[in-house]
Structure 1
Amino acid sequence: MLQTPGAAYGAWSILDALLAPTGAGTPFVFREPLGQAREVKVALSGLFGRFVARAYLERYFNLSIFAHLGSRIIDLDRRRRIKVKRLSRGDLPDWIACASDLSSLSVAEAKGCHDVGGPAKALARAWTQAGRIDVTAQDRKVTVKRIAIATRWGMAAAGPADAYLSVRDPVDEGDPIDPTEKDTLFVRLLRLHIANLIKPLGHAELAGALQRLTHQPFARRLPDDLNRARALLDAAPVGELEKAGSVGGLIGGIVTRAGPVDADVAPTDQEALARLDLRPVFVGIDRDLIRAAIDAEPQAVRSRIADTVSPDEFARSDRAGGWIIPLGEERRIIRST
């Protein structure tokens, strides 16, 4: 949910203690400044800035598939020369992202700040960072929306009271790109999104196989990589929501306030975790969608995501095949292979 998928961070409830209770639909205001030392403020501002920006991108730009860049360049398909090209030195933007229908390619950077004068300086830094890469296919520049998001935090005490969110989001036109190459780009992006999500949930081997498929430069080695990815998917334990036919098999794991749970958790133990107020949730992604991503079938990907149906008002979909399902007495995950 932040720069990397949120399953690795089980303590989302930390926000409850930090935010002023201003009510639903009101500004995002902290009780007090985020620390005293400058380095602490900078670190926490960056962390929460990504949290807010990710939610903003999902809600207002309809983006749901994210690959984070970190400090390295990503090859989206080495064999077809679809990649991220660095344009200048410095930190790279946070994400490359797209919508669930495999459209709206975007490059996004998030910043958070405490600047008394507002978010303008942070927005300028974010915009510079968002412009440090191009996405290219066969050395041709791909059209992207560049998005810079800066949040100036509001404080209930000992700081600026008003919270601001500032955005710059023009479209950067590129060269004409063959639709097949565009689909290839989006499916590779989805593979990286899935790999980042499932890796901290106990599926590191499958995540690695998805990444190898993306980075494999040699066509003769691709069949072996495909077979390994399919075999790992077939062998992965599948989670199914008890008494809910609308959600199929999910690949993922249980996350509590203390983080991911490595062991298999029986239904009775899931209820016990809920009674202890550890807020267990099952975080997973549709197995059939993973298979479509492995097989590089863009139409199957679109159809699978479009057919997503929530089993009840509690389960939340990320609109990219992912689910967060609160567990307890009425909702239990049954694991199978």
Structure 2
Amino acid sequence: MSRTFIYSFTPPSLDPAPGATITLDVSEIEDAGIREVLQTPGAAYGAWSILDALLSPTGIGTPFIFKQPLGQAREVKVALSGLFGRFVARAYLERYFDLSIFAHLGNRVVDLDRRKRAKIERLARGDLPDWIACKSDLTSLTIAEAKGCHDPSGTARALSRAWTQAGRIDLTVKGRKVTVKRIAIATRWGVASPSPADAYLSVHDPVDMGEAIDPQDKDAPFVGLLRLHVASMIEHLGHAELAQALRDLTRQALPRALQNTSARARATLDNAVISEVEKDGDIGGLVGGIVTRAGPITDASASAVDQEALARLNLRPVFVGIDRDLVRAAIDGEADTIRGRLAAKASPDDFARRDGAGGWIIPLGAEKRIVGGA
């Protein structure tokens, strides 16, 4: 079901979707929410699954308006605003900027490829931006920060804070600054009662030009970014050892250490539990696990009967997984192979939803069941 926000974009010449309003599907926001709670330590697992129930039942194409304010206490409003703000911002970036590979920064300075000295460098004190991201063709490095607010005056102050945060890091390769797009996104929530208010989504987006990068090094940030994306997606789905091996690949400065770490990562993948969608040969083997409103199921297998029972109990079970062959390509670090895997087309499906980073979200129940690993 699509919903709209009153929309503004600076500078207008770069706006990917000019207009007074912007549209997002609730399912897009929920899928972005699933990916966010898996990739963000400490996020509330069930938050992605309650969004539709919180919105005013006004129908397709109507404004994104909550029935009531997100809590009464300021602390609750701030927490939920920030969480849902990330969901909406990520859905916006995925749909309108075609970004699909996301690494979360937290407050850490991150190595993307220590051997080629590709890394995130802090420029100022304070919280770092939410994400560094790129497209599935390994282009368009983007630094993005999302803010959600209830400010009666609108999004201006939240957008200013987000823009400041987006400017606190650079991406460098061998000491040279890499060209990036910096995006700040602020969402002001609309509510139906007790005091009606409109929903706003505001974006600030200039390109920050960098220096010339040696062609032999230009793919290094993207490969490292994909490794971190995959690691954070699968870590809490029962694949912590494989996730750690992928992260370790970004931290090796010496060829022999990198070779040994790659061999360990391949062996871990070979021993990983691989899941498949029942009676669907188009999707192939997936590294992942089942997620419900209560969180991931990692300490027990879920049979077809279990999966149907979870669906009947309205626990919203979904299988979240990443293409096994893409994981192997990320380990090998060959950029052209990665691009080929990410460009591979899958047959359309009424239930299974594929993102641009080799990931799948598959609602489970009578129509779809996972076999082999769940």
Under TM normalisation by the shorter chain, which class is it?
over 0.9
- Counterpart of 1:290? 327
- Work out the CA distance in 2 between the residues paired with 1:298 and 1:212: 18
Query: Separation in 1 of the partners of 2:80 and 2:171?
Result: 30
Does the residue aligned with 1:179 lie in a helix, a strand or coil?
coil
The answer to whether the 8 Å contact 1:195/1:210 transfers is yes
Counterpart Cα distance in 1 of 2:46 and 2:263: 33
Residue 119 of structure 1: CA displacement? Answer: 0.2
Alignment partner, residue 97 of structure 1: 133
Give the partner amino acid of 2:349.
D
Could you list the runs of 5+ residues in structure 2 that have no partner in the other structure?
A: 1-31, 40-44
Which residue is equivalent to 2:336? 299
2 CA distance for matches of 1:175 and 1:80? 16
Greater than 4 Å deviation, 4+ residue runs: none
Deviations for 1:242-281, whole angstroms, at most 9, x for unmatched residues? 1111111000001112111111212222122222222211
Counterpart residue number, 1:107: 143
Kindly indicate whether residue 309 of structure 2 is the aligned counterpart of residue 278 of structure 1: no
8 Å contact 1:95–1:109 — kept in the other structure?
Answer: yes
- What residue number does 1:5 align with? 36
Instruction: State the secondary structure of the residue aligned to 2:288.
Output: strand
Which residue is equivalent to 2:285? Answer: 249
2:248 is aligned with 1:217: no
In the alignment of these two chains, the number of paired residues is 337
CA–CA distance in structure 2, aligned partners of residues 134 and 282 of structure 1? 35
Assess if the C-alpha contact under 8 Å between 1:145 and 1:172 holds in 2. yes
Match of 2:368 among 320, 331, 334: 331
TM-score (norm 1): 0.96
State the distance in 1 between where 2:324 and 2:163 align: 37
- Change in CA separation of 1:11 and 1:113 when aligned onto 2, cut-off 3 Å: closer
Say if 1:283 and 1:148 are closer, same or farther in 2 by CA, change over 3 A: same
Answer yes or no: is the 8 Å Cα contact 1:126–1:150 preserved in 2.
Answer: yes
| Contiguous gaps of at least 5 residues in structure 1 | none
C-alpha distance in 2 between matches for 1:11 and 1:123: 24
Residue 133 of structure 1 is matched in structure 2 by 169
Change beyond 3 A, Cα 1:2–1:83: farther
How far residue 299 of structure 1 moved from its aligned partner, in angstroms, is 1.1
1:160, distance to aligned residue in structure 2 (A)? 4.8
Call closer, same or farther: CA 1:216–1:2 in 2, change over 3 Å: farther
- For residue 50 of structure 1, what is the aligned residue in structure 2? 86
Q: Distance in 2 between matches of 1:17 and 1:261?
A: 24
Distance 1:325 1:258 in 2: 17
Larger CA deviation: 19-28 vs 87-96: 19-28
What SS class does the counterpart of residue 12 from structure 1 fall into? Answer: helix
* CA pair 125-307 structure 1, distance change in 2 beyond 3 A: same
State the 1:309 CA deviation: 0.4
| 2:121 matches 1:85 | yes
Equivalent position amino acid for 1:23 in 2: G
SS in 1 for 2:120: strand
Which residue type is aligned with residue 26 of structure 1?
T
- Equivalents in 2 of 1:202, 1:86: separation in Å? 32
Task: Tell me if structure 2 keeps the 8 A contact 1:7–1:283.
Answer: no
Whether the 8 Å CA contact 2:66–2:190 is kept in 1: the answer is yes
Q: How far apart are the structure 1 equivalents of 2:306 and 2:71?
A: 37
Correspondence for 2:222 among 186, 191, 213: 186
Residue 22 of structure 2 corresponds to which residue in structure 1?
Answer: none
Single out whichever of 205-214 and 159-168 deviates more from structure 2. 159-168
Structure 2 contact 38–232 (Cα < 8 Å) conserved: no
What does residue 238 of structure 2 align with? 202
CA distance in 2, matches of 1:3, 1:333: 18
Question: Does structure 2 retain, via aligned residues, the 8 Å contact 1:246–1:311?
Answer: no
Query: Letter of the aligned partner of 2:273 in structure 1?
Result: P
* CA 3–192 in structure 1, closer or farther in 2 if over 3 Å, else same: farther
TM-score if structure 2 supplies the norm length? 0.87
Q: What secondary structure does 1:265 align onto? A: coil
Q: Which residue of 1 aligns with 2:357?
A: 320
SS of corresponding position for 2:219: helix
Take 1:13 and 1:47, find their aligned partners in 2: how far apart are those partners?
13
Q: What are the Cα deviations for residues 21-73 of structure 1, in whole angstroms up to 9, with x where unaligned? A: 22222221111111122122111111111011000000111100000000111
Q: Is the 8 A contact 1:49 1:111 kept in 2?
A: yes
Equivalent residue letter for 1:90? G
Specify the SS of the correspondent of 1:150.
Answer: strand
Paired with 1:276 and 1:160, the residues of 2 have a C-alpha distance of: 34
C-alpha distance in structure 2 between counterparts of 1:249 and 1:22, whole Å: 40
